[in-house]
């Protein structure tokens, strides 16, 4: 009978599994539930594809994201679509609030235009100036189009067209997806990959859209959202779903109507617009205090915090961490940070790779500084980098197995007579 060394067996197992074994979860650094932090594809893998498209969401899932995030706006006929803002394309205004024209044509806003509607002559007459959350804004608005019109010939474009220039190659190709299509994608990929893919919808500008639905006798954004989520996932806290909003009152409205988890978004400045309308002087900074978190805890299960609320920037670099994460955890609230982007222009200075704002820097280092606080998850435009910051690469795990094999071999040698 031939003898097979246990050491050789371990080495063989390590070598055989190196290329196929799924990464182990990272050791959680004080997350609320002790689980590894979740990675949320912010508008999909929007660092690599035009945001809020099925293609961007698909890539985020392929890169390992646990959740994909559709921002939600409404059409003229009450359909929920995935867009960052109500404006399908935005144009610039002068100091007097008038549309800027060059050679008779409006000048598009080059950081807030996400579709080709501005190039379609059949819709030229729908360019409109409106007031959005107290600010005069001009563009082509989702609520002025039916869902059928938007899906017939309006296509996505890269929003950050002068920064993410490679993504412009995908312009004018991808349809604007409905919420249901995003859900269908997440559910299909969950089955295909054998792991749950969640969704993390945000209600955009609830006060603005409440005026639209009331004026047109439409179902409210909140009721339409809950109806869709309950039909697809059931009314359960175990659903792979979080509902988020920068406003407060619409979350308070939904909370008693659903068991799906609710997250209050917190910006680094300003206050919720519904607070402004109601004359409530509290700011997002007030909501980030222990007393503010007590208030949020009455209707939400988590907070989505701007990174500056967790580690403020000082001179462009990360400063001293606040107690927001530990304060939220003390109330039983999860903390999901936003937004982690890999380009130098978005990174704290110590993580820059060069002076070129479009070059990718060390987002991994930035993410890990926040994970050390116990952050429970985070939104990122670059899910592949985010996942790598949370879980070890397969090669690292293989090396660990090889190390265990070496240790076993050493122990075997020591035990020999």
Tally of domains in the chain: 2
Q: Is 18 found in the same domain as 39? A: no
Q: What own/partner pairs with CB < 8 Å and gap ≥ 24 does 328-331 have?
A: 328/32, 328/293, 328/302, 328/303, 329/30, 329/32, 329/374, 330/290, 331/290, 331/293, 331/294, 331/296, 331/297
- Looking at the fold, whether 380 and 412 belong to one and the same domain comes out as no
Q: Would residue 246 count as lying in a domain?
A: yes
pLDDT of 4 higher than 60: no
Residues 70 and 184 in one domain: yes
Q: What pLDDT digit, counting tens, does each position of 207-242 carry?
A: 999 999 999 999 999 999 999 999 999 999 999 999
- 278 and 209 in a single domain? The answer is yes
Residue 238 structural domain: 27-84+165-391
pLDDT band at 292 (very low <50, low <70, confident <90, very high): very high
Same domain, 194 and 241: yes
Task: Please provide the average confidence, as pLDDT, over all residues in the chain.
Answer: 90
- Whether residue 68 is contained in a domain is answered as yes
Contacts with 151 (C-beta within 8 Å, 6 or more apart), sequence order? 175, 176
Residues 346 and 383 both lie in one domain: yes
Rounded CA gap, 71 and 81, in Å?
Answer: 8
Q: What is the pLDDT of residues 17-45, one digit of tens each?
A: 333 333 334 444 699 999 999 999 999 99
Same domain, 19 and 79: no
Residue 126 lies in a domain: no
Same domain, yes or no: 16 and 52: no
239 Ramachandran zone, left/alpha/beta (phi>0; psi -120 to 50):
beta
pTM of this structure: 0.88
Which CATH number fits the domain that encloses residue 314?
3.20.20.190
Residue 252 resides in a domain: yes
| Distance separating alpha carbons of residues 336 and 173, to the nearest angstrom | 32
pLDDT in tens, 349-369: 999 999 999 999 999 999 999
Q: What is the pLDDT of residue 391?
A: 78
- For the segment 67-96, the average pLDDT, to the nearest whole number, is 98
pLDDT digits (tens, 9 = 90+) for 175-196: 999 999 999 999 999 999 999 9
Per residue in 309-325, pLDDT (tens digit) is 999 999 999 999 999 99
| Residue 12 and residue 35 in one domain | no
State pLDDT tens for residues 120-169. 999 999 999 999 999 999 999 999 999 999 999 999 999 999 999 999 99
Same domain assignment for residues 354 and 366: yes
Give yes or no for a contact between 31 and 375, defined as CB atoms under 8 angstroms apart: yes
Nearest to 190 by CA among 243, 235, 241: 241
Is residue 263 included in any domain, yes or no? yes
pLDDT tens profile 43-65: 999 999 999 999 999 999 999 99
Give the pLDDT band (50/70/90) at residue 417. very low
């Amino acid at each position: 009978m031939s003898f097979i060394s246990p050491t050789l067996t371990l080495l063989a197992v390590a070598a055989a599994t190196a290329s196929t074994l799924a990464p182990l979860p990272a050791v959680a650094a004080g997350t609320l539930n002790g689980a590894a932090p979740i990675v949320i594809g912010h508008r999909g893998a929007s660092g690599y594809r035009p945001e809020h498209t099925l293609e961007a969401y698909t890539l985020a899932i392929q890169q390992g994201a646990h959740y994909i995030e559709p921002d939600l706006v409404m059409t003229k006929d009450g359909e929920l679509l995935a867009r960052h803002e109500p404006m399908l394309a935005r144009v610039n205004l002068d100091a007097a609030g008038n549309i800027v024209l060059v050679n008779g044509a409006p000048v598009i806003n080059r950081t807030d235009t996400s579709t080709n509607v501005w190039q379609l002559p059949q819709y030229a007459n729908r360019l409109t100036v409106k007031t959005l959350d107290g600010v005069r804004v001009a563009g082509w608005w989702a609520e002025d189009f039916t869902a059928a019109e938007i899906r017939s010939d309006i296509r996505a474009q890269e929003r950050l067209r002068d920064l993410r220039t490679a993504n412009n190659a995908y312009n004018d190709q991808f349809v604007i997806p409905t919420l249901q299509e995003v859900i269908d994608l997440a559910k299909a990929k969950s089955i295909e990959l054998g792991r749950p893919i969640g969704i993390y919808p945000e209600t955009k500008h609830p006060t603005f859209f409440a005026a639209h639905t009331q004026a047109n006798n439409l179902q409210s954004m909140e009721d339409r959202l809950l109806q869709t989520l309950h039909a697809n996932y059931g009314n359960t806290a175990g659903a792979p779903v979080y509902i988020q909003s920068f406003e407060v009152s619409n979350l308070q409205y939904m909370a008693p109507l659903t068991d799906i988890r609710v997250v209050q978004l917190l910006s680094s400045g300003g206050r919720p617009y519904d607070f402004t309308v109601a004359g409530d002087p509290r700011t997002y900074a007030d909501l980030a205090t222990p007393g503010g978190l007590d208030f949020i805890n009455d209707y939400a299960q988590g907070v989505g915090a701007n990174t500056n609320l967790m580690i403020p920037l000082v001179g462009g670099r990360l400063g001293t961490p606040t107690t927001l994460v530990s304060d939220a955890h003390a109330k039983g609230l999860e903390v999901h940070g936003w937004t982690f982007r890999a380009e130098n222009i978005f990174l704290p200075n110590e993580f820059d790779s060069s002076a070129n704002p479009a070059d990718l820097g060390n987002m991994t280092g930035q993410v890990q500084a926040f994970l050390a606080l116990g952050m429970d998850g985070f939104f990122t435009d670059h899910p592949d980098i985010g996942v790598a910051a949370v879980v070890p690469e397969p090669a690292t795990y293989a090396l660990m197995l090889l190390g265990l094999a070496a240790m076993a071999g050493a122990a075997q040698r020591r035990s020999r007579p």
